[in-house]
Amino acid sequence: MNDIVYDTLLGAAIKAPSGHNSQPWLFSLSADGSGILVQPDYSRRLPVLDPHDRELYISIGCAVENMCVAATGMGLSGVVRMARDGGVLVSFNVNGDVAPSELIAAIERRHTNRNEYDGTEIPQQVADLLVACDATLYARGSAQFCAVRDSIVEADNVIYGDSRSRGELKGWIRHNRKETESMMDGLGYDVLGIPGGVPVWVSRMATSMALKAQVQSRSDVRKFMSSPVVAAFAAPDDVEGWVQCGRRLQHFLLTAAMHGVACAFMCQPCEVDGIAASLTSQLGLPGRVQVLLRIGHAAPPPAYSRRRPLASFKK
């Protein structure tokens, strides 16, 4: 694979979502030069919120799916398999039958949208395409939608009531313009709606006050209830299950972006093992609930999350 193809595929991969925008991936060319090995960057893991690296591997699955979609634009098809050392190997083959995916343009366009949604319904035709990505959709007003809402409140109490979780999250918040633009990762001031020019200590004080269970769950419930649909992704609870789940998730997010549907993660219930188990059985899902997304329509987000330079991901 030449440098242009390699950089095009990596450029697509790093636009994938990741927990706290940690960007926990490293890339290298496979030994024969025809594939890309994606490995976890454990220096960017979230030991408190994600002690088993479940979300880290889901994020890697999202990056792999972006690469496979982008590859179709160059007449390549990607074959994905787990590598021995916890990495994922994507082999790319020239394939005359491969047509450029209609999702390519959505790789750039997709962003998490944490705004309140306007409540308008998802057209049935689009909902059908989203269900085909192997997600389960629950409409507002259904018993399952209410079960997810209650589990978010319960999980917010656990997560924001725990000083270690709050500390980890604070470590990924980039408190002002200077910090955001020097780090190019994490949750930027503008993505979170923090004024950019204030000294870091002022911003830290304000975020500490906001990171309280009651404040967060009130805001989460308001946003959740503004969304006409919640999507749940369930999968086996192992590395391969997480990577495959990430691929399905990214396909869903790209499909949604292509149709102008906004998505925001509401993964708190998936991040507390006991709550995830109880929600999985209430919803009757196979495997374990891994990701929850509220979906709908909304104004664009105030800002987009940054990515670090491509070179910093090359091993």
User: Where on the chain is the footprint of ligand FMN (CB under 6 A)?
Assistant: 17-21, 55, 58-59, 62, 111-112, 114, 187, 265-268, 291, 304-305
Q: Which residue is nearest to ligand FMN (CB)?
A: 17
170 contacts: CB under 8 Å, gap ≥ 6: 204, 207, 208, 211
Nearer to ligand FMN by C-beta: 62 or 275? 62
Nearer to ligand FMN by C-beta: 24 or 78? 24
Radius of gyration of the chain (CA): 19
Nearer to ligand FMN by C-beta: 35 or 203? 203
Q: How far is the CB of 291 from ligand FMN (least distance, A)?
A: 6
Q: How far is the CB of 74 from ligand FMN (least distance, A)?
A: 23
Nearer to ligand FMN by C-beta: 92 or 313? 313
Residue 117 tokens, joined: 């949604």
Q: How far is the CB of 21 from ligand FMN (least distance, A)?
A: 3
Nearer to ligand FMN by C-beta: 62 or 153? 62
Cα–Cα distance measured from residue 86 to residue 304, given in angstroms and rounded to the nearest whole number: 30
Nearer to ligand FMN by C-beta: 1 or 292? 292
Q: How far is the CB of 27 from ligand FMN (least distance, A)?
A: 17
CA angle, corner 155, sides to 154 and 156, nearest 5?
Answer: 95
C-alpha separations of 122 from 66, 112, 116, 313 in Å: 24, 17, 15, 37
Q: How far is the CB of 170 from ligand FMN (least distance, A)?
A: 14
184 contacts: CB under 8 Å, gap ≥ 6: 306, 307, 308, 309
Q: How far is the CB of 94 from ligand FMN (least distance, A)?
A: 30
Q: How far is the CB of 298 from ligand FMN (least distance, A)?
A: 13
Nearer to ligand FMN by C-beta: 35 or 269? 269
Q: How far is the CB of 263 from ligand FMN (least distance, A)?
A: 9
Nearer to ligand FMN by C-beta: 178 or 307? 307
